[in-house]
Chains A and B, each alone.
Chain A
Amino acid sequence: MTVSGEKTSLQSMNPLETALVIGGGVAGMQAALDIADQGYKVVLVEKTPSIGGVMAMLDKTFPTLDCSACILTPRLSEVSRHPNIELLTYSEVTGITGKAGDFRVKVLKKARGVLIDKCSGCGECVPHCPIQVRNEFDQNLGYRKAIYIGFPQSTPLVYTIDKENCIKCELCVKSCDREAIDLTMEDEMIEIPVGSIVIATGYELFDVSVYHRLGYGRFKNVINALEYERLINASGPTGGKLMRLSDGKIPRSIGFVQCVGARDVQKGVPYCSRVCCMYGIKNAVMAKELHHDIVKNVTIYYADIRAYGKGFEEFFNMSKERFGIKFIRGRVGELEEDNATKNIVIWAENTETGEFLKQEHELLVLCPGILPPKGLKDLAENLGLEVSIDGFIPISYPASNPVDTDVPGVYVAGCAESAKDIPDSVAAGSAAAMRASITLARGGDI
């Protein structure tokens, strides 16, 4: 076992003592920690500059309303400090060959322009950078510089230079006392031998602008749920103040539209995304919780409420009884924007009464479903796997092998397999970690 801080060469790792985890979200982190705690080495590859995944963007978790960052950030530190985990952020897996016990993984380390060993994350460079662009981490609602960290708890706490927007003025280079910035840095391709692989690439949200009638992108006060999360998050672009985008006012009435890009055969997403009902209810509750004196009307337009998990049904009932959230069963048919007030008028049928509704809301939040991430198909092809018809990684048998793919030595965790909430993703991460370490312990024999 190496001591923390000691340099290990990734290329010379022993494949029978090393596992690869692709994706540094909550499932991938759990898998990495569980494999590493058994004494094996783990290489954790993450595409973005920081681990944490989508959970790092969330404000609260359902059904307990726990702070998402409070649960996640200790985990981030644990992963980055673990002596057995090699973190490769801002890197992508581009090719995989070999078989269980002896995979060769090609990883593209994108040039981040900053030396990981030298940068202390002090942020001295930031005020000197003249380029300001929208921050992807804040769902493009806030701004960042061309040299940036997405969020304050970014792990590793190392700045990244966005090559696309950098103008190479070298002001940051001059400002850095530790000489950590190297603008000449180039992409690097490395090959790592590993014995088993866990795919935890996560998900992406359905692009709600596909529903032209729901006005996303056309009307300013129609936002998606992840944008809403950033708006209510204390470290978000508004400092936790829920405001609508047209005039910055706190909305007095908010509508939530469920099943946008879920259970829709016509849009190619016939499956239920599982989490939308609960995060929709949670977001509705949070609106009342944050500004109960201003937000008077919160209405959820749903097709069916699927509160299937532990404590979910109770949470759903509490949202009605304690917080007075209104629930209307009916998919939204049409939206209109009021030209003067920029309020949104929704058309829907209350299918419980047959009443046709035209209701005005000051803010409308669309709750999109979950899609497999772009690039998952290519990754699967690299592994010799075929994605299933919905685009996710198929497992060999759900009841007895819930994390095993059809390729021996390759396991899957989190939303790469199907839509999952946080507890299920973490559970799948642990399960995949155990299966991956069994492969290592048996020397590649399954």
Chain B
Amino acid sequence: MEETEKSKAYRGDFPVRDENVDNSFKYEIANQVGGEGLLRCLKCGACSGGCPVGSVIDYRPRKVLGNVLLGLKEEVLSSDQIWLCAACFTCEERCVQEVNFTDVVTVLRNFASQEGNAAPGYVAMAKMVMKNGRVTARTQLVDKMREQLGLPPLQDPAIEQLNHIMNAAGLKRVFEAQKEREDESE
């Protein structure tokens, strides 16, 4: 008989204790728009098997879903796993249970942001939008290229209205939570 596969300990494998489990967490997520499919997950691994991110680094969509279903709220929302999804939708195409992993992970990111766990890159990008009205700064090079291509010059964004909209959407709270979290760690 051939040797069976040795199981290796992977990052993210840890003992699950009662005090870490929040039984209502999966329902919290499932009740959000986009999170409906979560409870249908069979953990068959079709998402991980086709994941282009997972093929190069230690990232398994199945594990994210599994941890949410287990109720490991703190672990899921504070980990960087939910920020690794490239939103290529391959898993959604593969999924046999119509779980819509990309939507679930968006809900999880929103939850994590509210608690000050947003990935620094995303926060920096949001700040850039608040400041410039764009995800990248307007440079002279861009203006010049537009001129050469015969495109109309860029309009100045209505920063005030934009800030108003983004704060109404709760972005202010995300920044505050982020700041609180940073202060705590210092």
Contact = CB atoms under 8 A, between A and B. Distances in A.
Would you call the interface of chain B mostly helix, strand, loop, or mixed? loop
A213 B94 contact: yes
Interface stretch (A42-50, A55-63, A258-266): A258-266
Interface in A123-153: none
A326 B1 CA distance: 10
Nearest to A334: B50
A353 B45 contact: no
A266 B43 contact: no
Interface residues of B, number: 32
B13 interface: yes
Interface in B1-27: 1-2, 4-5, 7-8, 10, 12-13
Given A303-B42, A349-B54, A353-B8, A331 B96 contact: yes
A334 B49 contact: yes
B32 interface: no
Interface in A235-279: 259, 263-267
Contacts of A354: 10, 12-13, 60, 63
Contact of A324 (B2, B43, B46): B2
Interface residues of A, number: 33
Interface string A47-85: 000000000000000000000000000000000000000
A356 B98 contact: no
B52 to A, nearest CB: 9
A388 B10 CA distance: 45
A202 interface: no
Interface of A: 213, 259, 263-267, 296-297, 303-304, 321-322, 324, 326, 328-334, 347-356, 358
Interface of B: 1-2, 4-5, 7-8, 10, 12-13, 40, 42-51, 54-55, 58, 60, 62-63, 90, 94-98
Q: 9 tightest CB-CB pairs across the interface, nearest first? A: A333-B49, A333-B50, A349-B48, A331-B46, A330-B45, A351-B45, A264-B96, A349-B45, A348-B49
